[in-house]
Amino acid sequence: MVTAPVVEVHGLRMRYGARTVLDGIDFRLDRGEVVALLGPNGAGKTTTIEVLEGFRRPDAGEIRVLGEAPETAGDAWRARIGVVLQSWRDHARWRVGPLLEQFATLYLPYAASTGRQPHDVAELLDLVGLSGHRGALVRSLSGGQRRRLDVAIGLIGRPELLFLDEPTTGFDPVARHEFHELIHALSDFDDTTVLLTTHDLAEAEKIAGRILILDRGVIVADGSPAELARAVPSASEISWREDGVRQVHSAVDAEPFVRELLARTDVTVTELVVRAQTLEETYLAMIAKEDAR
């Protein structure tokens, strides 16, 4: 069965004054995909997401999000989308629980048409690790806790499509890990489509099945971390102990080297570790290649 794309972008162009920020980008997102949009500061990631959310009108391009043009789509469409913006909206005088309950009521009129009931607030607070803060004033939360609340606000309506602009800024390692588990669960069990921006490449590698790299207004790479790595191969690091002495070797193709090493009968090889090319190395190589053009 061929399913309709959740997001379809053709020839998206965007200018601020004389400056072209997006210079004709094309991509699609399918149901249940988790895709990370990467790129240097100022590459146009937030602008792209804001166009898809309907917050900015593009200069050119054909854009369909859940089958509609974002700039003209109505509230029923918006109820199917979750948004976590980069800049924090100030709800400082609210308490966490009542604020989320207030947001939940906004989705109720659309629950019948979308088939998605808003989250129960206690359950959602548990999901984002804020259970103990239901009665807290928003202004009393720490930076990372506020960010968790932003994520909860993005999720409250059980969106089909979730946009996350640098969602884990300020998260401690445990919160970050829990957030990654949450994204996996949303994609695996609820078939939620997720588009996120992040500068944390280890995070992108962990949670995204597909990576889009935006540089100077165009998409310069689109594929899984492994596919991208094949496009700019760099060396893997192989380390082991040979009769107790630590050894290190780098090889672009580690497999034949490891086979040969393990076939040796003259030494005892222990603690063998192969560290493959990371997404960070792939990303740096790709950006350097673009810089050299």
Beta carbon of residue 61, minimum distance to ligand ATP (angstroms, whole number):
15
Q: CB of residue 216 vs ligand ATP: minimum separation in angstroms?
A: 10
Least CB distance to ligand ATP at residue 135 (A):
33
Interface with ligand ATP (CB under 6 A), residue total 10
**Is 167 a residue that touches ligand ATP (CB under 6 A)?**
no
Q: With respect to ligand ATP, which residue has the nearer C-beta, 42 or 143?
A: 42
Closer residue to ligand ATP in complex, CB, 6/21: 21
Rounded to a whole number of angstroms, the minimum distance from the CB of residue 91 to ligand ATP is 22
Contact window for ligand ATP (CB under 6 A) among 35-43, 77-85, 221-229, 270-278: 35-43
Tell me whether residue 96 or residue 279 sits nearer to ligand ATP (CB atom): 279
Task: Give the per-residue SS3 of the chain.
Answer: CCCCCCEEEEEEEEEECCEEEEEEEEEEECCCCEEEEECCCCCCHHHHHHHHCCCCCCCEEEEEECCECCCCCCHHHHCCEEEECCCCCCCCCCEHHHHHHHHHHHHHHHHHHHCCCCCCHHHHHHHCCCHHHCCCEHHHCCHHHHHHHHHHHHHCCCCCEEEEECCCCCCCHHHHHHHHHHHHHHHHHCCCEEEEECCCHHHHHHHCCEEEEEECCEEEEEECHHHHHHHCCCCEEEEEEECCEEEEEEECCHHHHHHHHHHCCCCCEEEEEEECCCHHHHHHHHHHHHHCC
With contacts defined by CB under 6 A, name the span among 36-44, 67-75, 77-85, 266-274 that binds ligand ATP. Answer: 36-44
Single out the residue of 3, 41, 72, 87 in contact with ligand ATP (rule: CB under 6 A).
41
Letters for 44-83 (x = contact with ligand ATP by CB under 6 A, - = none) are: xxxx------------------------------------
Q: Please give the residue ranges that form the binding site for ligand ATP (CB under 6 A).
A: 16, 21, 39, 41-47
